[in-house]
Amino acid sequence: MIKKGLKRLYKKLPYRLRKFRYDIIKYLRDSRKLKFDLQKFNDDMRKYTELNNRTEFVVCKDNLNFCVEWNTPAANLSKVLFLQDVWAAKKVYNSGVKEHFDIGSSVYGFISGILPFTNVTLIDIRPLDFKVDGLNFIQADATNLENIEDNSISSLSALCSLEHFGLGRYGDPIDPDADRKAFKAIQRVLRGGGGGGFPFPPLGEKK
């Protein structure tokens, strides 16, 4: 009877209070998992140090990087992103283009996959702090693509990037219309308007 009464009382609680309870439970579970991961990390490091005879691979505690999220039972793979990158890379390869432009796609995924057969110009609002042969980098806001001429690009991709524009995730300003601005900028710089263009309504109107 008491248990049933508590359940009825719980259901009458405001949603935020009920959610708060679940957040606390999740926090406690995560804390226990973190403690377990730290223990395993320290045990593995201790075992490695005991077995290691190579002076060039001595553990330096000042350079340790705690990455327990890589301790997974299966290969570290996002199936959706992997299939997306393979699909797009095949499209670029079959097109035979010698210069491909990209806006904000994964550098270690898609970009690295197409660099062996085509030069790539990567456009990103964030800086890129390394150089690779065949990779040209332009740090720019893709919602306007300033300094890129109209009808100047014949091959361009943007994998899992435009839908995040305007949310402040990449250091960009908050702007609910940022994705639509980016599409319009892409239509401007693509030869032929990007396959005829998309029927976007004027900015400020409902999609």
Tens of pLDDT, residues 5-28: 555 655 555 555 445 555 656 656
Rounded Cα distance between 33 and 25, Å, is 12
Other CB atoms within a 10 A radius of the CB of residue 82 amount to 12
Q: Based on the number of CB atoms within 10 Å of its own CB, is 207 exposed (0-12), middle (13-18) or buried (19 or more)?
A: exposed
Reported as a single tens digit per residue, the pLDDT across 49-77 is 888 888 877 888 777 776 655 555 555 56
Please state, in angstroms and rounded to a whole number, the distance separating the CA atoms of residues 158 and 123. Answer: 10
pLDDT in tens, 79-106: 888 999 999 999 999 999 999 999 999 9
Superfamily of domain 79-193: Vaccinia Virus protein VP39 (3.40.50.150)
Specify the pLDDT at position 199: 44
**Three-class SS state of 78:** coil
What is the value of pTM for the model shown?
Answer: 0.63
Of 110, 189, 175, 182, the closest CA to residue 141 belongs to: 182
